[in-house]
Structure 1
Amino acid sequence: MMSFSIISKQLNRQIKTHAKRFSRTICDEQRRQNEIFIAEEKRQRESIGRIEKIEVNYEGQPTNEVLVMNRNISTPYDCAKHMGEMVQKRSVVALINGETLWHMHKPIPDSCKLELLHYQISNPALVNKTFWRSCSFILGAVVSSAFKDTVGLCLHSFPSPNVKSGSFVYDVQLSLDNWKPTTSELKVLSIEMIKFCQQELPIECLDVSTDIAFNIFKNNPHKTQQIPNIADHNNDKITLFKAGNHIDISKGPMVPNTNQIGRITVANVIKLDSDIPGGPIFRFQGVALPSSIMMNHFAYGLLEDRARLLNPARVPGTQGIDNEDNTFVANMAA
């Protein structure tokens, strides 16, 4: 059974058809979610009031600097702009006061020490996790629009990033029984993910109340079930990320722009043995490289082979609430 709306033999024609259908259906829900997100973003910005200055002690190349920035307005990305184009383009994630990972587009709340981490640092473990998490987030965006209208689809969750597992993951509920993707279907998914990243979309970040989060995800029973547990571990706030029209829940941080993701392969989709009602859960798995890192075809092929194996992350089930681990900052070195 061919479940995808895009079939490799008729790729160009099917992509156009898919785009028209997508604009009529899924985009209606995304439009609603985006309107809520943008309104809340505007409300938070306007509630700041009088602008206060903070000192950000930047440590790194090309030189250490003390930057005078705006409290709850200026972001690490704004700081990177002051340090030159090279620093701005290569920065992946910020490290505040030597202990807290911070999304590049998230406003800084107070004076602090700031480091900007990138892919070439001597110990890139934290950067790699940020990259892996971002790939899962974008995989969810692509899968959301990949199937026919007749296929029920509901994003469930993606596990905390584990680079050693060999693949980034998104678990999705589908109204299919025993679907196994063909090589052509996996290739199309990979192409769609590449196209998404090539739009060079900034990945935005916003902390919202549980009420806002419930409203945004009211049509996704899995997300709404996860929200209370997430809020309990995040000061009653839900952290949302947005790229283009896609919005999802994650503690973050993410990479600042989709253009940092280069070579991509959606390597496998595996039906999981889960007891969640409503349809089977399928684990979408992929592998990718940052756009700044090159690898020969043979070596990348080995990564693809490994990414086809079932990722050992916990299988979603009715026993316990599945969402991305919210203790990442406390376990940064893990």
Structure 2
Amino acid sequence: MNLANHARLSIAPMMDWTDRHCRYFHRLMSREALLYTEMVTAPALVRGGAVHLLTHDPSEHPVALQLGGSDAQELAQAARIGADHGYDEINLNVGCPSDRVQSGCFGAVLMERPSLVAECCAAMIAAQPRDVTVKCRIGVDDQDPADILPQFIETVAAAGVTRFAIHARKAWLQGLSPKENRDIPPLDYDLVHAMKRQFPALHISVNGGVETLEQARAFLDAGLDGVMIGRAAYHNPASVLLAADPVIFGTGSTRSATEIVHDMLPYIDAHLGAGGRLHQITRHMLGLFTGRPGARQWRRILSEGAHHDGAGTEVVLRALDAIAPQAHLAGDRNV
């Protein structure tokens, strides 16, 4: 499997969002894009035995496990567990700005400790056969990104990491909330391009503020190796993923949102049959028809109906019935 090629477009790891149900849904829209888990902490796997967090469907591949932590040996054990569970890549989180990860000395705070990141990555690489990658920020707090980011990349690359996804914003660990850190620090795409020029042998993906396939295509055409899209792919998945394979990878064809809904039904039935609840899946599907006729009714019917005891695929089909006539009248062929 050529992960570097799949990483031309990837869906960012997002806490509480990119769980296994979300990834299955996204995979139906794109066979090529690289998918990521939510961040799983190394202590949860190694000390807590929380291997249930690694459950995934075989159809999700290519899929990467993102780990959080700062203890090299513990991360090495967690990476080995992830590889044993079949993940195609192990990614180290060096970008999350939440208070919880700061107190645990992992996430974005590790931008201040490149030698420790290199030590962790070297241990992870030695422990298992999968690619080890890093998702990072351009800096934190009062750091000068133009000075520290090249040093960070050089140090970590020397440990054997060849692929970096760079969120093109600083993280302000003092003064901004995690939510504010996703929007307020200004984007510096020029610095990410500069990193690719400075380290041409490395695979460099840009993350942050990318909302459309047209933007992604422009970054690739400008010389970057990959584009990682987060919130736009979650809130409006059809706009990002339905045409991703032909536009970004030159393979396959564009599918319709209605086809995706019907393809989800057997998966939903299986989940319900195993004791799951409908809303655990449909919460990830709310944005599928964003911007299209009937989208509000689709969201309302799913939001209100999926939480009821015994709710099943009939709720999904009722929501689809509410949107399809309006879409037909509007002449929307992508529905």
Larger proportion of helix: 2
Normalised TM-score (structure 1):
0.24
Larger proportion of strand: 1
Structure ranking higher on relative contact order (CA contacts 8 Å, 6+ apart): 1
Normalised TM-score (structure 2):
0.24
